[in-house]
A and B are shown apart, each in its own frame.
Chain A
Amino acid sequence: MMITRPSAPAAGENIELAIVAQGTACMALPELADVRRRSIEKFAVLRPQLLKHSDEQTLASLVALSQAVDDFPLARDFSRWAVVSSSRHLGRAAFAGVVEKYRVDGPWGVSVQVIPNATPHAIASTISLALDSHGPCAGAGTGADDEAHALCAAANLLQDAECPGAWIAFTAWSPESAFDGTARPGSEAVCLAVVLAVVNCREARALSARAIGRIEVGLPRTIRTPSMPAAPEKPASLGLTEYLVAHAGQGERLCLTSGGIRIAIDWTGMSAATSHRRGTAAHDGSFDSRHSMEPRAVPTAFPIR
């Protein structure tokens, strides 16, 4: 629920969110096919029939979500949580398939599944289904470097007391492949996903005390270095999703500006009580060069059926 007259925050103030759990995935096509075929035991409602038509970015987000749920520090009732997803060109392969199918078979060959599964809300909707979350649910941002939209949307939703937390999913192919007639991503491409569980620092003190990181969302003029000293700018050539897959939870800081929104992310202030959880979120390798990072396998802790 969004109310239009809550207790008014001070004009221009930033929103501070605590990251309380996170998961990442970096998967090649064969691994994604395995998830599609076997589903994920933890999310029993997502039967293989339901995942049959899911986009690969959706499947990767579910793997990251599974890891994040394991990482979640307290009781797991997500029934009122919001879900926001930011995908990069979700459904491009599926739509290329539609165009080809239409060319060959005419209108009767077009799948009824492509629109519901390949439009930007689909990842958020699938996650809400997996977690039985009935809070607000939406996609945000649609193109390259649009991850800030999802952070901003989640920050807005968490201003409502009805919404105790938000799941945020970022997904992308890296690199974006050129399609040939098969309408499939190239074999060199990997599908990346990052899922964060965030709460409003002011409203959810019990959870935010166990935070593994924090995010500030504001305007360029209101987020300045005092709040995030020495936070480097995200390199323009690197998407936030790529950065997070490589660096989330590794004790770093980062700032970025997109669409007039300023985001600062900080993993440096973890408490001793939460530091043991770093291991689940740590990653190897940097993302300075895509080819320097080996695609991470499906986490072994994640049971596949």
Chain B
Amino acid sequence: MIDDQAIVITGIGALSALGTGFAEISENLLAGKSGIRAVDDLDVVEHPCRIAGRLTLPACPPQFDVASYDGFLPLDRCVLSCCVQALHDAGLWGQRQSPRVGIVLGLAAEWMSHWDFHARRGGSLLCDSTPRRRATIDTTRETLELTGPSLSVAAACASGNHALAHAGHWLRRGWVDVCLAGACDMGVTPYSLASFGNLRALSRRNEQPSAAVRPFDRDRDGMVLGEGGAVFVLECADRARAEGREVYAEVASVGMTSDAHHLVTPSPDPSHATAAVRQALAAARVAPDEIDYVNAHATGTPVGDACEARVLQAVLGQHTRRVPVSSTKSMTGHLLGAAAAIEALACLTAIRYRAIPPTINLDHPDPQCDLHHVANTARQGVVRIAVSNAFGFGGHNTSLVLRSAAA
């Protein structure tokens, strides 16, 4: 039984290459489907990587004026779509102005996304001295007519976990009754494909898109970019109970540390990433042997996956061979600033459907990544405690612990 002051998730909104909303994305995650396709709507003929987990943005939700909605940039539309879904899912759409609803978004590269979109269409947003548009967080708060505070945070690929942590603070402090929290990113663009491609971080399996992302596999050759995000409705358990809302899970803790090593290259010292996971477990009062599932950050790069395996081996110790681990980036692609959010959703999938989404394309596990992999097909089983790691450029280390409401 979750105690009254616990922070719980009561609504989910999500978009990714695997679909729209929790149910569709969960179904595809558990089916082991790949959302990676050839990029056919951008001129990427000369790019080293020409595949991605592209998102088709949904049409204007019926709640909004079409003309206004069409004026929003893609990242704004993605955020709004996720927020609207989440509020509806929690049964809060019609009441979103009466409780104090706050919003915390992980937006890792907001302006780059907007500048990019404008520049490709010959717009002047990038070169203007007085940017004419407002920040996405302000646009979202106003469009949704929210009455609580708003905050945007950027911690590269770990942004979504940071957002959940800040939302938790606001709820406990009573600054908000309900808080939308999550992250979105629309990072599949010619410029980002070029930059990450030149870094040799992207897979070059252009002829086999669905087999390209191979976390923990010995033949992995890099990540594949994805788009989308997830936004969650968070509130205190006592309020959720009083309102009769369905609880997906408790946000038990978020551990956060920094490598302080380099802006680009990951630290060879896994101790700070290990500390983030251990802190999260300690704060949630969870022992390693109680973990039922780890959604790894593993992007499919040779160095990063092996480094995370060492982190998990250090944290799990003798339980390494028992605790199931998978990387759902093998199906969604790497959503960059939204990775932590969509992977929190994957953990909720495991908790809700009692089945762990697999790492697809894991045909030959790398001996350097010796973990208890959920390879290629979903595994049935009750998940009470799920852990989601998210690490990012600049040495951001985060780990999220989600606890089943039935735990």
Chain A residues close to B by CB (< 8 Å): 1-6, 8-13, 15, 50, 53, 83, 89-92, 95-96, 98-99, 102, 106-122, 124-126, 128-129, 131-144, 146, 149, 152-153, 156, 159, 162, 175-180, 218-219, 259-261
Task: Establish whether residues B112 and A107, one from each chain, have CB atoms under 8 Å apart when the complex forms.
Answer: no
Which bracket fits the contact residues of B? Answer: 35 or more
Contacts A99-B191, A138-B396, A260-B102; A4 near B172 (Cβ below 8 A): yes
A178, B129: Cα distance in complex, Å: 4
Beta-carbon contacts of B216-258 to A below 8 Å, as 1s and 0s? Answer: 0000000000000000000000000000000000011111111
Instruction: Report A-chain residues with C-beta under 8 Å of the C-beta of B3.
Output: 5
Task: Establish whether residues A178 and B168, one from each chain, have CB atoms under 8 Å apart when the complex forms.
Answer: no
Chain A-chain B contacts (Cβ-Cβ < 8 Å), number: 260
Instruction: Report A-chain residues with C-beta under 8 Å of the C-beta of B343.
Output: none
Residue on A nearest B394 in the bound complex, by CB = A125
Instruction: Report A-chain residues with C-beta under 8 Å of the C-beta of B261.
Output: 129
Measured between C-beta atoms, what is the minimum distance from A29 to chain B in Å? 16
Task: Establish whether residues B131 and A144, one from each chain, have CB atoms under 8 Å apart when the complex forms.
Answer: yes
Measured between C-beta atoms, what is the minimum distance from B200 to chain A in Å? 8
Task: Establish whether residues B138 and A125, one from each chain, have CB atoms under 8 Å apart when the complex forms.
Answer: no
Instruction: Report A-chain residues with C-beta under 8 Å of the C-beta of B102.
Output: 260
Task: Establish whether residues A126 and B263, one from each chain, have CB atoms under 8 Å apart when the complex forms.
Answer: yes
Measured between C-beta atoms, what is the minimum distance from B149 to chain A in Å? 4
Q: Does B5 contact A (CB under 8 A)?
A: yes
Instruction: Report A-chain residues with C-beta under 8 Å of the C-beta of B127.
Output: 96, 178-180
Measured between C-beta atoms, what is the minimum distance from A114 to chain B in Å? 6
Q: Does B108 contact A (CB under 8 A)?
A: yes
Task: Establish whether residues A259 and B279, one from each chain, have CB atoms under 8 Å apart when the complex forms.
Answer: no
Task: Establish whether residues B154 and A260, one from each chain, have CB atoms under 8 Å apart when the complex forms.
Answer: no
A-B contact pairs, 22 of them (CB 8 A): A1-B276, A1-B283, A4-B284, A5-B172, A11-B174, A89-B131, A95-B126, A96-B115, A96-B127, A107-B48, A112-B195, A112-B196, A116-B263, A120-B107, A121-B392, A124-B394, A132-B260, A138-B155, A142-B137, A142-B154, A152-B149, A259-B150
Contacts A115-B196, A143-B138; A122 near B169 (Cβ below 8 A): no
Residue in contact with A117 in the complex, picked from B46, B47, B263, B276, CB distance below 8 Å: B263
Residue on A nearest B271 in the bound complex, by CB = A134
Residue on A nearest B150 in the bound complex, by CB = A259
A135, B165: Cα distance in complex, Å: 14
Residue in contact with B262 in the complex, picked from A120, A129, A138, CB distance below 8 Å: A129
Instruction: Report A-chain residues with C-beta under 8 Å of the C-beta of B147.
Output: 260
Instruction: Report B-chain residues with C-beta under 8 Å of the C-beta of A108.
Output: 46, 194, 198
Task: Establish whether residues A98 and B191, one from each chain, have CB atoms under 8 Å apart when the complex forms.
Answer: yes
Centre residue among A144, A162, A259 by max chain B CB count within 10 A: A259
Instruction: Report B-chain residues with C-beta under 8 Å of the C-beta of A162.
Output: 279
Residue in contact with A115 in the complex, picked from B5, B46, B110, B393, CB distance below 8 Å: B393
Task: Establish whether residues B254 and A2, one from each chain, have CB atoms under 8 Å apart when the complex forms.
Answer: yes
Measured between C-beta atoms, what is the minimum distance from B171 to chain A in Å? 9
A107, B45: Cα distance in complex, Å: 10
Centre residue among A1, A108, A219 by max chain B CB count within 10 A: A1
A137, B152: Cα distance in complex, Å: 14
Contacts A4-B251, A8-B5, A133-B258; A143 near B264 (Cβ below 8 A): no
Residue in contact with A143 in the complex, picked from B109, B134, B251, B255, CB distance below 8 Å: B134
Instruction: Report A-chain residues with C-beta under 8 Å of the C-beta of B168.
Output: 2, 4
Residue in contact with B148 in the complex, picked from A126, A153, A159, A260, CB distance below 8 Å: A260
Contacts A141-B135, A179-B126; A121 near B394 (Cβ below 8 A): yes
Instruction: Report A-chain residues with C-beta under 8 Å of the C-beta of B394.
Output: 116, 121-122, 124-125, 128, 137
Instruction: Report B-chain residues with C-beta under 8 Å of the C-beta of A118.
Output: 112
Instruction: Report A-chain residues with C-beta under 8 Å of the C-beta of B195.
Output: 98, 110-112, 114-115
Residue in contact with B129 in the complex, picked from A91, A102, A176, CB distance below 8 Å: A176
Contacts A107-B194, A142-B154; A92 near B262 (Cβ below 8 A): no
Instruction: Identify 8 new A-B residue pairs, CB closer than 8 A, beyond the known A13-B173, A89-B111.
Output: A2-B254, A108-B46, A122-B394, A125-B394, A137-B394, A152-B166, A153-B166, A178-B128
Task: Establish whether residues B259 and A142, one from each chain, have CB atoms under 8 Å apart when the complex forms.
Answer: no
Measured between C-beta atoms, what is the minimum distance from B47 to chain A in Å? 5
Instruction: Report B-chain residues with C-beta under 8 Å of the C-beta of A13.
Output: 173-174
Task: Establish whether residues A106 and B153, one from each chain, have CB atoms under 8 Å apart when the complex forms.
Answer: no
Measured between C-beta atoms, what is the minimum distance from A190 to chain B in Å? 14
Centre residue among A10, A146, A149 by max chain B CB count within 10 A: A149
A296, B284: Cα distance in complex, Å: 48
Instruction: Report A-chain residues with C-beta under 8 Å of the C-beta of B310.
Output: none
Beta-carbon contacts of B184-197 to A below 8 Å, as 1s and 0s? Answer: 00000011111111
Residue on A nearest B164 in the bound complex, by CB = A2
Contacts A107-B190, A125-B396; A136 near B257 (Cβ below 8 A): yes
Q: Does B130 contact A (CB under 8 A)?
A: yes
Instruction: Report A-chain residues with C-beta under 8 Å of the C-beta of B256.
Output: 1-2, 135-136
Centre residue among A114, A129, A179 by max chain B CB count within 10 A: A129
Instruction: Report B-chain residues with C-beta under 8 Å of the C-beta of A99.
Output: 115, 119, 126, 191
Task: Establish whether residues B115 and A140, one from each chain, have CB atoms under 8 Å apart when the complex forms.
Answer: no
Instruction: Report B-chain residues with C-beta under 8 Å of the C-beta of A12.
Output: 173-175
